[in-house]
Amino acid sequence: MSATSPAEAPERPAAPPPAGAPAWRRFVRFVTEANVAMVTLLAVVGGLFVGAILIVVTTPATLHAWGELGSHPGRTFSVTFQTLGNAYGALFVGSVISPSALGHAISSGQGWTGVFTPISETLVSATPLILAGTGVALGFSTGVFNIGGQGQLIAGALAATYVGFGVHAPIGIHLPLVILAGAAGGAVAGFIPGILKARTGAHEVIVTIMLNYIFLYLLEYLLTTQPLQKPNQSNSISRSISSTGQLPHLFGSGLRVNLGLIVALAVAAGASWFMRRSTLGFQFKVIGANPAAGRTAGMDARRATILVLMISGALVGMAGMSTLAGTDFFLSTGYGGNTGFNAITVALLGRNRPLGVVLGSLLFAALSTGGRYMQASTGVPIDLTSVIQAVIVFMVATPALVREIFRLREAGAGKILLFTKGWGG
């Protein structure tokens, strides 16, 4: 097995075009080198390509058409493109904008809410991803791998629910309390793996995964007990939070996009400042990059581990709060679904930078929002989008692979800044 490592192969980048070079030359150079933008773009192309293959090989109509490749090649391709066009068209229409609805709105002057519904839904799904993804990214840059998103999200949503229905106050006081409760719940859930890692050396990957299940069952239990369970109800659903604890809509009641989005963007901006400008953020980064150097400089690595898991958990907990107080208003079993895990992929896609996380969240939110529409209108299961998402992250995590597939030039960028360690760390 020839196992040379192209990732390490020294490859001298060609001299960049001189500053006065014509714009088209600089553009050609940009699209042929493996910079962050190109790697991500091509990763998305790769993800959609794998998704397309899956659709083709699992749809009876296209499979049949490919069987006739020899006799009716034209039909093969038209059926294939029609099937794919329908599915991916639905993905776009469901997440961004529907051209026909737009045309109708322009000509009749009505139905503008419908035009903006897809994009509003995408922003709604992006909100928890931005919060949770930023939380996971913070952990990554300190060498802490927080897979406990699901548990922390449930903990945050639980705390926010208790405060949401238990406290009676005007919105100016109540809503901030709900938001803080979400953060506090997540922080508590993050504290457990933090203290265990610092005190006993238990690896956070295992502890956080186990905590996911523990919180899932804890929620299941609490949903059958007072005061959480909705009174006179046999279903496992919680009381609804009162209207003063809900995140207000941004553009009227027709669109679900709410204040949570603004909170999420503010948190991402704050995290960006924290990691780049604050002393504590600097310490986190040093300890993540080189714990020994951090210790030599007098930093307390154990304290940093606990703190970073608490902060990370707090942000993920806010993600749980954002869906609760923004759109759902009550809890049910299995709350949060895959958001905790998607936060990891979003953090990787955003290369651990808050801005990247925001963009990655928008992309993944669009895929899943569009996926729901795709499933409803064409019958292609929404799980296709998780496959596409996984492929995207595979490729983003191995830029060398993308470079090889698409024959790009080395650009040095695109390496994910994170510092995971083996089990002993």
- Using CA atoms, how far apart are residues 241 and 198, in angstroms rounded to an integer? 36
Site string for another protein, 5-34 (x = CB under 8 A): xxxx--------------------------
Do residues 265 and 348 touch, judged by C-beta distance below 8 A?
A: no
Q: Does 1 bind another protein (CB under 8 A)?
A: yes
Q: Which two tokens stand for residue 347?
A: 């953090």
Instruction: Kindly tell me which residue out of 179, 196, 241, 259 binds another protein, with binding defined by CB under 8 A.
Output: 196
- Using CA atoms, how far apart are residues 229 and 20, in angstroms rounded to an integer? 68
For the CA atoms of 305, 306, 308, 311, what is the dihedral angle to 10 degrees?
A: 170
Q: Which helix (H) or strand (E) holds 60?
A: helix 60-67
CB nearer another protein, residue 165 or residue 419: 419
Instruction: Kindly tell me which residue out of 114, 249, 398, 413 binds another protein, with binding defined by CB under 8 A.
Output: 398
CB nearer another protein, residue 290 or residue 398: 398
Q: Does 304 bind another protein (CB under 8 A)?
A: no
Q: Does 198 bind another protein (CB under 8 A)?
A: no
Q: Does 201 bind another protein (CB under 8 A)?
A: yes
Site string for another protein, 114-153 (x = CB under 8 A): -------------------------------x-x------
| Residue span binding another protein (CB under 8 A) among the ranges 14-22, 29-37, 162-170, 337-345 | 337-345
Q: Does 256 bind another protein (CB under 8 A)?
A: no
Coil/strand/helix, residue 256: coil
- Using CA atoms, how far apart are residues 37 and 24, in angstroms rounded to an integer? 17
Q: Does 56 bind another protein (CB under 8 A)?
A: no
Q: Is the dihedral of CA 322, 225, 192, 203 positive or negative?
A: negative
Q: Does 307 bind another protein (CB under 8 A)?
A: no
Phi first, then psi: what are they for 244, rounded to 5°?
Answer: -70, -15
CB nearer another protein, residue 325 or residue 365: 365
Q: Which two tokens stand for residue 57?
A: 């090989």
- Using CA atoms, how far apart are residues 356 and 165, in angstroms rounded to an integer? 35
| Residue span binding another protein (CB under 8 A) among the ranges 169-177, 202-210, 280-288, 297-305 | 202-210
Instruction: Kindly tell me which residue out of 100, 108, 200, 232 binds another protein, with binding defined by CB under 8 A.
Output: 200
Q: Does 211 bind another protein (CB under 8 A)?
A: yes
Do residues 146 and 313 touch, judged by C-beta distance below 8 A?
A: yes
Tell me how far, at minimum, the Cβ of 359 lies from another protein, in Å: 19
Tell me how far, at minimum, the Cβ of 24 lies from another protein, in Å: 32
* Closest by Cα among 399, 214, 240, 221 to 330: 240
| Contact residues for 404 (Cβ-Cβ < 8 A; gap 6+) | 6
Number of H helices, E strands in the chain: 17, 0
Residues touching another protein, count (CB under 8 A): 58
Tell me how far, at minimum, the Cβ of 220 lies from another protein, in Å: 5
Tell me how far, at minimum, the Cβ of 318 lies from another protein, in Å: 22
| Residue span binding another protein (CB under 8 A) among the ranges 17-25, 249-257, 290-298, 397-405 | 397-405
**Cβ density class 361-381: b for 16+ within 10 Å, e for less:** bbbbbbbbbbbbbbbeebebe
Q: Does 171 bind another protein (CB under 8 A)?
A: no
Which DSSP letter does residue 202 get? Answer: -
Q: Does 387 bind another protein (CB under 8 A)?
A: yes
CB nearer another protein, residue 224 or residue 278: 224
| Contact residues for 28 (Cβ-Cβ < 8 A; gap 6+) | none
Instruction: Kindly tell me which residue out of 276, 383, 412, 417 binds another protein, with binding defined by CB under 8 A.
Output: 383
**Could you tell me the CA-to-CA distances from 398 to 34, 36, 43, 95, 395 in Å, in that order?**
11, 12, 10, 28, 5
Tell me how far, at minimum, the Cβ of 94 lies from another protein, in Å: 17
Do residues 399 and 6 touch, judged by C-beta distance below 8 A?
A: no
Where does this chain bind another protein (CB under 8 A)? 1, 3, 5-8, 54, 58-59, 145, 147, 196, 199-203, 205-207, 209-214, 217-218, 220-221, 224, 341, 344-345, 348, 380-381, 383-387, 389-391, 393-394, 397-398, 400-401, 416, 418, 420-424
